[in-house]
Structure 1
Amino acid sequence: MLSNASGDLPPLAWTCHVRRFNTIAIVTSDTDDARLSGESLAARYGDVNPLEADVIVALGGDGLMLQTLHRFMGSGKPIYGMNRGSVGFLMNEYGDEDLLERLERAERSIVHPLLMVATDAAGVAHTARAINEVYLFRQSYQAAKLRVTIDGKPRLPELVADGVLVATPAGSTAYNLSANGPILPLNAPLLALTPISAFRPRRWRGALLPDHARIAIDVLEPAKRPVSAVADHFEHRNIRRVEVAMDRTVDLVMLHDPGHSLEERILLEQFGY
């Protein structure tokens, strides 16, 4: 029997250290750097089937992070990304030392995806989820004509533009920012509704909406001015109507090193870093 000096059983913390994550799965992009880094980490820390892992380590760029979040959506598995790509906004810095300790200290960021239901010209409804944004974009040389409805009430009878997008806080620094949309703090209960190269109304620059809003966008003159609908990298063409709402039934968990959380990175973006 184990005992301390007083004869009592010691607390569990005195006898062992229980890690947050005992099994790791490694996924990589198809670049040489990512693959070689994955092999190095697997040799040092092990690599199990992602379905059996406690945590998934993703090596690549932001594109791989989004693909990995989509791939394991609904599993609840946390994703710890390390940058072996180009931008790496969603990723931690790469390092093959002390990975287990970094995972122990990592901070969680939880985001919810958007649910898009896009109905095409044949009346077929297509469902997809987006972590960054849902957007509509013209398919031809002619600008799209769109009607925007929020929670069942028409708010913009006619928008003439290349398109329009709905961005989450996590996605507000991606396409939304390129379209001159606002950067949203990660925990802000908001969605950004941002026009893409708006022609009419000329002074409309978009809107901030509560994240419980239900957004409907109808395509006007769809035969003459065809429009695509995209949820992250899922695209559907010849769309007549899109409905968008945040899906709170799905939690997506990203892990970041202390001081480099997604909240901190989004805040830095607001000051030009």
Structure 2
Amino acid sequence: MNLRRASFFFLCILGKQAFAQISPPGLGKAHTADWVAFGVRQDLDSLKRWQSMSYIGLGRISNPTDYNPFDKSAILVLNQEFYYRFHKHWQSSFALSYRRQNEYFDSYPYERENPAFEQEFRFYSRFSYVLETRRFKFIPTFRQEFRKFYTPTFAREAENFQLRSRVRLQLSINLDAAKTHQIILSSEQLFSASKLYAPSQWEKLAYRESRFVGYYSFAPKSLPFIFDLGYMANRLGTTSPIYVHYAALDVIWKNPLSHHKMAKRTRIGNLE
């Protein structure tokens, strides 16, 4: 294994071939929510087998009694993920994420809890099968997460850590030959088990929620950006489920380092 490949492997152990959109995180009980994210996607080798995806995202939620998705600040997300396409049909990824999520009481006037927010560090990996034609791309994905929770002062939470498994089916539909316009649909089911501090015990592994997502993606050839506008229905619970409705917008900057190098070579060429 050469030094360059070993370096990439080391980075992966610390930390999307990224998917086209940055889907909203679950924000708990509310009527409506909104999610805005900005990401940077960079190819790390000439064969495009290795890829980095970094993003920052912000989410807001409504009160349980109204439908204003901008009412309350809900979450800040910082995420770094590395992808490796190791086969024509297979890809994997490794990621590290930090999340700061605000906590509110469920009863009127829905003020902040004390402590006002929870911190989370998350490590996860994905394994995906990619089946692609000119018109369609179908990607089943299994994602395994380790979630560690802290108070605002980094003291331990009642929930020590959580193991969560996610199964997603995603379909991308190209609306034109140049793949400038896409429709992206997905369904994801989440299962988890938590280790508690007091009493020191495990909650059993169980189904917790589902997420149904639809996106319109626009990637103009004249710009190094992808613009995504979407909707997510988050189904929480089993016997008496509730639905939270999300509006989502994200912008992804493609290969900024490559564009910088190209611009630099152009300037040097003009000087010569």
Indicate the structure with greater helix content. 1
Query: In terms of Rg, which structure is larger?
Result: 1
TM-score normalised to structure 2 length = 0.22
